[in-house]
Amino acid sequence: MAALMRHGVFKTVQMGPAANALRFATKAEKKKGIDRKAPPRIDSSAQAVAAKGFLRPQKSYTPPADLRARLDAVARGVLGGAAGDASLADLALKFDLCSACAREFDHAIPNSILHTVQTLDDVRNFYQTPVDTKTPLDKMRNMELPENLHVQFEYHRFHPETDTMFGGQTAFNRSSTLITGLKYKGKYKGHIQNQNWPFNS
């Protein structure tokens, strides 16, 4: 038991300086005037993830034409005659307002930005912002594309029973076509490629 305790203390002492060495420059580095840079921030990664909003399970939302009048009516019903910069510090009042707006517009404020909603103007700005859930590929259908660019929206998937130009032989031997998504199981037909010669048998 004593040997185990000594071993644990020894390992703790060994690990301590190693953890600190990662944060500070060594003496040799300080003599040369080298200081370790701060670790990279994840701001760029956060921006990249935010730009991929089409992958999130959100519903499309288009602000109605009478948004301001309807939102003012909801705010009067919950807050009374509050101005646009009225604070929503009272959490019960904030919950009532957000719930009423979600019922009125069929569009709820997500939890990820709920902490940024501090005033009635923040609520108004949220409901004035449209939400487009189309993928970039679907957006190209209505775009004016350059003459030298052609996008095949209904793409073709190889199947040996229907692609008989070369006797059902694929250019990618030993590569099966697997349909894993529920959305495309009824649209495309998959097949398991033979792993031994002849590959198309």
Question: 58-102: per-residue pLDDT in tens?
Answer: 788 999 999 999 999 999 888 887 666 778 888 999 999 999 999
Q: Can you list the positions of beta strands (E) in the chain?
A: none
Considering the four listed CATH numbers 3.40.710.10, 3.40.50.970, 3.90.1170.40, 1.10.1200.10, the one that applies to the domain covering 67-128 is: 1.10.1200.10
Q: For position 8, what pLDDT does the model report?
A: 56
Angle among Cα 129, 91, 87 to the nearest 5 degrees reads 60
Question: 134-157: per-residue pLDDT in tens?
Answer: 878 888 888 999 999 988 888 777
Question: 3-36: per-residue pLDDT in tens?
Answer: 555 555 555 545 544 444 455 667 777 777 776 6
Question: pTM value?
Answer: 0.52
Q: Check residue 37 and report its DSSP letter.
A: P
Rounded-to-integer distance, Cα 84 and Cα 119, Å: 7
Average pLDDT over residues 112-117: 90
H helices then E strands: how many in the chain? 8, 0
Rounded-to-integer distance, Cα 153 and Cα 134, Å: 14
Q: Is pLDDT at 170 greater than 90 in this prediction?
A: no
Give the chain's end-to-end CA distance (angstroms, integer): 67
